[in-house]
């Protein structure tokens, strides 16, 4: 998974430079569906220090297939999505500011901006559980049903996509919408778009502005 290693290093650094996390906060992975492996960032190493050879390859049981580092403590949460959802091939967890503000309030992010449709009709906040536990993985999976993003209570955000580029796009758009919602909420009550409009937006996004990694 040489290409995947380099992509994880690239997008891990992007999380830092774009201000979506700090230090070692967050984790990223890409799955190999042919072998039921996943490449995931290592635990406890700042993103700007991670090299391709530090990326850990594990199977769905958590057994290290390749690498001499410890995989992210959230590996169970990543693998759960790969096991149960065929539309997700990359998962990103970050500590973005505005999404985390909502997560600390344990609020959902409603459809007050049409760009929420990249993630679903809205973004739910999962029930709280300790980081790195199977309970958190299950809570996140449940709250992200029919969606591509979830807020992790008192923690951060988790997103998925058919590749890492699209997963990152979901992260960016949800964080933007959380920022706007925060600002609008501070001076009034944001208006929520109807479900019919969000369904229309989801259909439009199928053919507009989709980016894909070069093979």
Q: Catalytic positions, please? A: 74
Work out the angle between the directed axes of helices 75-84 and 134-143 (0-180°, nearest 10): 40
Which residue(s) pair with 150 in the sheet?
158
* Residue in the structure block whose two tokens are 């559980």: 129
Gap between the Cα atoms of 25 and 157, Å rounded? 11
The number of CA neighbours under 13 Å toward the Cβ of 134 is: 2
Sheet of 90-94, strands arranged across: 64-66, 56-59, 37-40, 27-32, 90-94, 156-161, 149-152, 125-126
Gap between the Cα atoms of 130 and 132, Å rounded? 6
């Amino acid at each position: 998974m040489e290409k995947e290693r380099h992509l994880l290093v690239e997008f891990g650094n992007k999380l830092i430079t774009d201000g979506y996390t700090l230090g070692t906060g967050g984790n990223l992975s890409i799955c190999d569906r042919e072998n039921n492996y996943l490449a995931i960032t290592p635990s406890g190493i700042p993103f700007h220090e991670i090299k391709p050879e530090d990326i850990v390859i594990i199977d769905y049981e958590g057994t290290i297939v390749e690498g001499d580092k410890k995989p992210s403590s959230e590996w169970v949460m990543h693998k759960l999505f790969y096991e149960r959802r065929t539309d997700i091939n990359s998962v990103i967890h970050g500590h973005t500011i505005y999404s985390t503000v909502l997560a600390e309030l344990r609020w959902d992010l409603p459809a007050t901006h049409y760009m929420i449709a990249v993630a679903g009709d809205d973004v739910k906040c999962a029930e709280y559980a300790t980081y790195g536990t199977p309970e958190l993985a299950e809570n996140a999976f449940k709250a992200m049903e029919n969606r591509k993003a979830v807020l992790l209570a008192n923690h951060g955000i988790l997103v998925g996509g058919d590749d890492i580029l699209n997963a990152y796009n979901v992260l960016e758009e949800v964080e933007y919408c959380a920022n706007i919602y925060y600002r609008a909420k501070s001076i009034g009550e944001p208006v929520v778009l109807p479900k019919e409009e969000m369904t229309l937006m989801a259909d439009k996004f199928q053919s507009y502005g989709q980016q894909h990694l070069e093979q």
